């Protein structure tokens, strides 16, 4: 059984283009921590970025590696400055 998060980020007004440029820079550091980006979408109003990320090992281990990384610590303020609200839902394969 694979475990993943369905994540919905409401992006600050006027910042979606910047977020879409920034997001690919997160993918490699996540990959190094065992986190895979499975797919990404935008809602019709282009106010929400919706994505699924899965974990190669355990959620706790992968997130500890990512959020404890030098890359994350150096970039967290800039990344989070784009996000107004985040919702995570844990999902599993059926």
Kindly state the DSSP code that residue 1 receives in the 8-state scheme.
-
Which residue pairs, CB below 8 angstroms and at least 24 apart, start in 69-78?
69/29, 69/32, 69/33, 71/29, 72/29, 75/25, 78/22
If you average pLDDT over residues 4-28, what whole number do you get? 97
Q: Quick check: pTM over 0.95?
A: no
If you average pLDDT over residues 42-52, what whole number do you get? 98
Question: Which CATH number do you get for residue 65?
Answer: 3.30.70.100
The boundaries of the domain holding residue 20 are 3-92
Cβ pair 48, 42 in contact under 8 A: yes
Q: What's the Cα-to-Cα distance from 39 to each of 29, 58, 66, 71, 75, rounded to whole Å?
A: 17, 19, 19, 22, 22
Model confidence at 1, in pLDDT bands (50, 70, 90)? Answer: low
Q: Is the pLDDT of residue 93 over 90?
A: no
Domains of the chain: total: 1
With pLDDT > 70 as the criterion, what percentage of the chain qualifies? 99
């Amino acid at each position: 059984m694979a475990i993943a998060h369905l994540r919905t980020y409401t992006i600050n007004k006027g910042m979606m283009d910047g977020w879409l440029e920034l997001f690919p820079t997160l993918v490699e550091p996540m990959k190094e921590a065992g986190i895979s980006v499975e797919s990404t979408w935008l809602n019709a109003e282009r106010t929400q970025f919706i994505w699924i990320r899965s974990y190669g090992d355990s959620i706790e281990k992968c997130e500890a590696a990512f959020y404890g990384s030098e890359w994350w610590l150096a970039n967290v303020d800039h990344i989070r400055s784009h996000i107004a609200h985040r919702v995570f839902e844990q999902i599993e394969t059926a």
